[in-house]
Structure 1
């Protein structure tokens, strides 16, 4: 249907749906693997309701869900502080963003996001196009920034309140009509988006001024006429900021879009696709409801096995009103006496945010017995009341922070008192910044991780619901959500007591429940030797951070931009004409329509899909898709690293302080975030160059120590491959040996391409690589790749035997183990369908990758003692590599000691049949050292 008169376009604000779903619903995780899916579930329900409720005369003929693209937009180029003070998305929400896009496509609805533009700009452009085409447009959102678009056939709908927002609704909100909304916003500013506006002028005053003077420009030109001195001075002094603010709030209604309104025509969901997605998410109720509505059979969703729990937490009811508000030294000292009487205490901190290196300590909670908990508020602010510009005076009933820490410090540092926390590394870093070294510790998150890796996540809310049958007070209920969210120091103290003390209470109960099970589940050694002692090591590394040179990143960013331009020209030549390289639809049209390549699939909107796996397959046959992949890789490097890393440089230390996540991967591998330093590419020259920006301080050197082929060595040991074990003992080139064995060619004078193929197979086998995957890696035909893999297994039959044996063990026991006793649960190992292959590959790889992860953990735990008397700091861990910063005078000794620790890390717990070897490098930057 061509869009025109009689058509009705619905534009759904996807981000608003996501955040509404996340904040309105309790946390939910997928039973099979612990993936957070609460926001996805809410999003799907809202989307389904939107589809089902819109019947009859007012039904849409065209519909799209519009999302914000991650990263900077053109507004950041106008004003670099735009949205600078917005907190990062919650950790459990981040993995759900791409799933909501998948959900939209599963419902067969157009899913739109465009780099460098916000969803609001796309909505503005489409609304204008609909208006000009003679149709209607309803924007499904309550976002005030979109109210400037209302009028002329465009209205808004707040689905939560079931309230339509027309011209009168806008006037009720802003005091002006839609055409003057941007003028009011430019004056009032927006603290959430960091839009400056005119200080001291709010929405009401701004509307009053605009109504009196007609528009913003007239107001600014006649500002000297204003009688009120403060208003006059604010307008005159901040004229440039006000005009800048108008640029920031005005939406771009004239974007160049590579699709038309016609492509947004309403389509019925394809039952097979929608059922597959809902089943994959394990939404049992929603799947059944929609299946019944569509008249199809709901797919069977198997229940994930749940480990049998031993013991029961103390059944003392939670009573938030019973927690104590500690107001003075006398009260706190009574708690200290109780703690010494028990010998343990659960501790939790409340802070002004999530960045441990920047936030302020707001309060501390303690718990000594289930139900007996307190909160010590420290810097809660007095309520501002009606005066938004009230001072930052402290609320009454709080101890001075120095006095509270003076009382607590001896106990927190006392080796006879066990301090129990949930994710204790965070709290330990907060205390360390205030001069308190917390030890010894226990961590309930890590206890759960040691017992249940692969079964569920290990956040406090999830553990409380699962093991205590208790839903904790939601932090969102105190801080609010979205643009109106506050920091914890603004929470009234009485409310903070209930929330914060409950956290400590829950932590203690979880400890009493989980601690005995470490022994009963035979994972005490894992917790005591691999998890608990790693906490202070990681905390110290994170606080050291690593210096990053901003100028180097800027130069790289420019170089990547130039190289992208060169690839763009090359692609134009291969295609025979210009096109938008960043448009998957246009790339697909060239590949499948113009070049006639096979293997393409279309999206629900009828456009060609060009994900990486499709391009990797095609790259084995044609040069064009390979160049597109190269372009996208550079684009990712630029946006994710050379641009984004600069934002993570600490304002005071000048260093980047990543946060390591011990419980992030079921195999024991560490993850890192804010920023993620584990995913810096190493296979391409451009990816390796990113490391040039990580530099040593003057007079110091970076040294890198990297395990050589550790996972292949572990495979040779576990699978008892004599030829590989002998080769490692003799220090042979393992990839050349594999090539010689497989292809019957001599090692001397071997063709580098033959060795490269053997190397790809060696590493690919560890991850259960298929013929398809190897073909993509080597860009060779699939048949040839599969022949390589078949020949590999013929030459090394022990590897196939290991794989089969491991899968059988996983099917029988529901888990696999590392050589050090770490259990990695495999809940989907007996599943049918597409998940079966993935679960099988994961089970095969987990003992190998997990053992390697355990080895480097053991090395990290031993390292501080080994280098204690040297001027050296351990800074980073990236999979099999450790990076140190050392005074120039001590480089050789530091390398010798660190290598000795790493090469002997498996002993005495495990004696490997092959030696572990460590390659060492040094340099002024990480690239030189690696």
Structure 2
């Protein structure tokens, strides 16, 4: 246990309502409502786990409101008068929530006549007087009055909704004044939630300005008489009494008697049995299994403050959270070393070899890894044990003075054995970028770990609820380390005054660059402890991690495009766009800017009088795709033309123009950038340029694909999984009819048409194809009606008939939704989790959107996992088959694109097919064959 005592005070009252609104109504075996109880229990459990993995408390208590009446109601009878009574189904849950707290063997403190905030204030001040640090687990603005430090004892807050620490800077950012003046600002502005009157007409900005300028509420009120005549002066003079009353109401009472002594809040672990009894009593079986007490005695003890791991590098146990991370010092940028001599560089390299693990980060002249110059490299071996190695610093002018630094080639020659050593793990944050930069200098970095990808493996989708967030370094550092990193603009500036990183003075460059490596090292220790405990080791180690270097290699390969062909297409599109524009203006009876939603909306709904126009908050009509398609279906020719104009304009700007600009002068090829964390389900996303949204089935899309060509003497080969989502659905939902059809090589859409309509015609097959895919995406009756152009009742009948013919699909959907509602996430066959924090939202649109995504996520995510496994195995398999000249260039949805000598096509096709068809094995056995279609030709289009 740490020498210094650290008390955590949990604002339990806030958790109750958060839990109530997050979950649907639930009842226990006795029929008592327990939705809020269940939610409160899971939130408290998550807090315990989070504190378990961070700088855990030595003492902890949960503080609750005893009743709705306090001494403030005696001061002002309208205090909180506007608050509605608790919902009927929440009232019987209040005592059960207290039982839940005690089931964790935690103090549950409440006192008649005082609010939870007053008890929190009293305990916080009492602990601070004894020299303890205090963290208040709440985001309540009233409690921000307590934040600060006295005699070395600090009070801060932890907002678990945002996973963010709140200290003096955060309070100042929110209120514009320090914590000691928060009460004065609140008194002036009032609070409609608690019905604190304040002074009418004075909002947060004015209140902050007055208090900041005058130094206190009393001084601001006294200064009113000297102000020029104005409405504000009148309000201040007339509202003085209300402001002073409000100051009393917002003042936290910090001298309450303490019902439970501070010493009794000491944590020594949470016995599992009381918690198991509570979970059994209320039928919380999923939580009971999580505790490990499903059928008998608990198998583990939850400990909020376990013993610290003796060594920083000690591996996490199978339980994932059985060990606490070491106590790290705060980030200290002054501790970093700027390595300017070969002697010091060799010293760091020797230490990294001995440590067997090093965090690595590169600094470059630009964001484009294919063209950026290497400016420096940073290394980290532990907290604050980091360095920066400048390699190309100094002004760009040939006469500019260069600082002392190791010569680039000499430094890279010295680093190469370390970065390529199998005995040393290299850790990066988005290390794919660094792999490409260093590969261009002849260094193949391996083995690797990536903290960004690790975070994604555990937290994909959590950001919607504020529990998780993005996976960039800044977000991860804030979330997991409570640390705000230096920003690039802090050292290089922004806008026209920005300078290249190579011109940043070495002291600032060292602070910025070495911090990146230091933070990455720390994040890696946290992530690798979390992976096994959260069941993410398998997906990270077997699917995502092996792919990082593969993707980096594909990005470096790039693909050739025919600039002349693209230029001709751009010219053709420009002519077509101009023609369509003229036709639209003729139909409108006037010229206008077609790309302006406002002008287009006015033409469609005001001038031409089409029905169905909807104005948004901005006051202008919506003219999105759905609106235009609806008008088109009703016979509005102008809507057809606008849709055509939009498609051609997008294709021209996004592809035919952009692809020409994207050709790298040093390679003559286009190099897209793939993100391993861009799509929530695990699919790769493509940017700069995006090659995954080129239309597949349209003639225009085919024209664009014709511009993707091989080098002379080679061909392009495309290998595409055939109907993989339907195949996986047949397996995962266990649908015998569909499994049989795939096993026999039948046309699956024809089989569905036969099952549903009793005959196979062009129309029934087309409808069956639409239904097959739409239902896997959780489509509604109205959505299907729109796609098939039928009435909603008819669409519902089709859905019902589909479920009658394939009951396994309906069962799969129901079981998937039930599981996601209970756990908060879906899982692929390989264990990838996708979180859906709004799956139980009371907002119908949010809930239904999450439900649709949750139905498809296990299938689409499994598809992504399979093709990733195929990609990771592909190049070794081709090399083993004696095919070193086959290069994998692109991954687009379920398709892989290769460039190879024409004479290698037959041999390569066999290897590629075998790898793709067997990609799931041996981790997952699939009861439906994975079909792969392969073609080749002189362009990407010809390969289909």
Runs of 4+ more than 6 Å apart: 29-34, 43-46
Query: 2:403 corresponds to which residue?
Result: 396
1:801 to 811, 819, 843: 811
Q: Deviations over 1:855-894 (max 9, x none)?
A: 0001001101111121210000001000000011111111
Closer, same or farther: CA 392–511 of 1 in aligned 2, 3 Å: farther
Corresponding position: 1:862 with 2:873: yes
Residue number among 398, 416, 419 corresponding to 1:412 in the alignment: 419
Is 1:545 aligned to 2:558, yes or no? yes
Contact 1:346/1:420 (8 A) holds in 2: yes
Q: Alpha-carbon deviations, 1:569-599, whole Å to 9, x = none? A: 5545655666543343443344334554332
Which residue of structure 2 aligns with residue 554 of structure 1? 567
Give the aligned partner of residue 710 of structure 1: 724
Alignment-derived partner of residue 688 in structure 2: 674
**Counterparts of 2:702 and 2:916, CA distance in 1:** 24
Does the aligned pair in 2 maintain the 1:313–1:510 contact within 8 Å? no
Which stretch shifts more, 792-801 or 841-850?
A: 792-801
Given the alignment, which residue of 628, 643, 648 partners 1:634?
648
Flag the 1:811–1:603 CA change in 2: closer, same or farther, 3 A: closer
Q: Is the 8 A contact 2:719 2:897 kept in 1?
A: yes
Correspondence for 2:859 among 835, 845, 848: 848
Counterparts in 2 of 1:688 and 1:717: CA distance versus 1, 3 Å: same
Matches within 5 A, 1:599-610: 599-604=612-617, 606-610=619-623
Structure 1 stretch displaced more, 774-783 or 422-431: 774-783
834-843 or 706-715: bigger deviation:
834-843
User: How far off its partner does 1:730 sit?
Assistant: 1.1
Corresponding residue SS for 1:928: coil
1:771 maps to which of 762, 777, 781: 781
Cα distance, 1:359 vs. partner?
0.5
Deviation of the 1:786 alpha carbon:
4.2
1:440 to 435, 447, 468: 447
- C-alpha deviation, 1:790, in angstroms: 3.7
Structure 1 residues 621 and 787, CA, compared in 2 at 3 Å: closer, same or farther?
farther
Separation of aligned partners in 1, 2:664 and 2:747: 43
TM-score (normalised: structure 1): 0.64
Contact 1:560 1:638 in 2 (8 A): yes
Distance in 1 between residues matched to 2:725 and 2:670, nearest whole Å: 29
Partner-residue secondary structure (3-state), 2:351: helix
Shift of 1:381: 0.8
What is aligned with 2:87? none
> Does 1:620 find its partner at 2:633?
yes
Q: What is the match of residue 543 of structure 2?
A: 530
Mark the runs of 5 or more structure 1 residues left unpaired by the alignment.
1-28, 35-42, 47-304, 385-389
Q: Deviations over 1:502-550 (max 9, x none)?
A: 1111111111111122112122111111111111111111100000111
**Using the alignment, how far apart are the partners of 2:497 and 2:788 within structure 1?**
51
Q: Does 1:422 find its partner at 2:424? A: no
SS of 1:651's equivalent in the other structure is: coil
Give the 3 Å change call, closer, same or farther, for CA 597–786 of structure 1 in structure 2.
Answer: farther
Q: Indicate if the aligned counterparts of 2:328 and 2:383 stay in contact, CA closer than 8 A.
A: no
The structure 1 residue matched to 2:771, chosen from 761, 775, 780, is: 761
Q: State the TM-score, normalized to the length of structure 2.
A: 0.63
Name the structure 2 match of 1:909: 923
Find the counterpart in structure 1 of residue 352 from structure 2: 339
**Partner in structure 2 of residue 816 of structure 1:** 826
Distance 1:864 1:754 in 2: 42
Q: Whole-Å Cα distance in 1 between the matches of residues 674 and 160 of structure 2?
A: 23
Structure 1 residue 776 displacement after superposition: 4.2
Give distance in 2, aligned partners of 1:556 and 1:757. 34
Question: Relative to 1, partners in 2 of residues 1:394 and 1:872: Cα closer, same or farther, differing over 3 Å?
Answer: farther
Distance 1:557 1:838, change over 3 A: same
C-alpha distance after superposition, 1:758-806 (max 9, x if no partner): 2122111222223343344445555554443343233323222211111
Q: Tell me, yes or no, if structure 1 residue 507 matches structure 2 residue 520.
A: yes
Change in Cα spacing, 1:873 to 1:579, as seen in structure 2 (3 Å) is same
Q: Which deviations, in whole Å up to 9, do the C-alpha atoms of 1:54-105 show, x marking residues without a partner?
A: xxxxxxxxxxxxxxxxxxxxxxxxxxxxxxxxxxxxxxxxxxxxxxxxxxxx
- Contact 1:620-1:776 within 8 A present in 2 as well: no
CA distance in 1, matches of 2:786, 2:596: 22
Distance 2:766 2:579 in 1: 28
Q: Distance in 1 between matches of 2:161 and 2:561?
A: 40
- Over 3 Å counting, the alpha-carbon distance change for 1:351 and 1:741 in structure 2 is same
Do the aligned partners of residues 569 and 476 (structure 1) sit closer, same or farther apart at CA in structure 2, a change above 3 Å counting?
A: closer
CA pair 429-580 structure 1, distance change in 2 beyond 3 A: closer
Deviations 1:459-495 (A, max 9, x none): 1111111111111112110111122222211111111
Q: How does 1:299-310 map to 2 (within 5 A)?
A: 310=321
Note the alpha carbon deviations across 1:544-566, whole angstroms, 9 max, x for none: 00001111111111222333344
Alignment correspondent of 1:838: 849
Structure 1 residue matching 2:826: 3-state secondary structure? strand
Residue 376 of structure 1: aligned partner:
389
State how far apart, in whole Å, the 1-side matches of 2:380 and 2:735 are.
Answer: 53
For the 8 Å contact 1:32–1:828, the answer to whether it is kept is: no
Q: Go from structure 1 to structure 2 and tell me whether the alpha carbon gap of 1:366 and 1:600 turns closer, same or farther (over 3 Å shift).
A: same
Q: Which moved more, 1:888-897 or 1:622-631?
A: 622-631
Alpha-carbon distance, 1:313 to partner: 5.5
1:328 aligns with 341
**1:775–1:482 Cα change, 3 Å:** farther
When structure 1 is superposed on structure 2, of 835-844 and 787-796 the one drifting more is 787-796
**Partner residue of 2:754?**
740
Could you tell me which residue of structure 2 aligns to residue 927 of structure 1?
941
CA distance in structure 1 between the partners assigned to 2:736 and 2:566 by the alignment: 46
Contact 2:380–2:517 (CA<8 Å) still a contact in 1?
Answer: yes
- Provide the residue aligned with 1:168 in structure 2: none
Q: Is the 8 A contact 2:683 2:893 kept in 1?
A: yes
Match of 1:367 in 2: 380
> Which residue in 2 is equivalent to 1:103?
none
Within a 5 Å distance, the mapping from 1:196-595 to structure 2 comes to 310=321, 311-312=324-325, 314-382=327-395, 391=398, 393=400, 395-455=402-462, 456-568=469-581, 570-571=583-584, 575=588, 580-593=593-606, 595=608
Q: Is the 8 A contact 2:562 2:709 kept in 1?
A: yes
Alpha carbons 1:617, 1:775 under 8 Å: kept: no
Separation in 2, partners of 1:682, 1:368? 48
CA contact (8 A) 1:33 1:454 kept: no
In structure 2, the CA distance between the partners of 1:778 and 1:729, relative to structure 1 (3 Å rule), is same
* Alignment RMSD (CA, Å): 2.7
Structure 1 position 45, deviation (Å):
13
Q: Where do residues 22-33 of structure 1 align in structure 2 (5 Å cutoff)? A: none
Q: Are positions 1:651 and 2:651 aligned together?
A: no
- Rounded to whole Å, the distance in 2 between the matches of 1:338 and 1:621 is 73
Paired residue secondary structure (1:657): coil
Q: Is the 8 A contact 1:523 1:822 kept in 2?
A: yes
Matched position secondary structure for 1:434: coil
Larger Rg: 2
The answer to whether the 8 A contact 1:379-1:394 is kept is no
CA distance in 2: counterparts of 1:740 and 1:569, whole angstroms: 47
Tell me, in whole angstroms, the C-alpha distance in 1 between the residues paired with 2:593 and 2:782: 29
Residue aligned with 1:552, SS: helix
Distance in 2 separating the partners of 1:554 and 1:430: 31
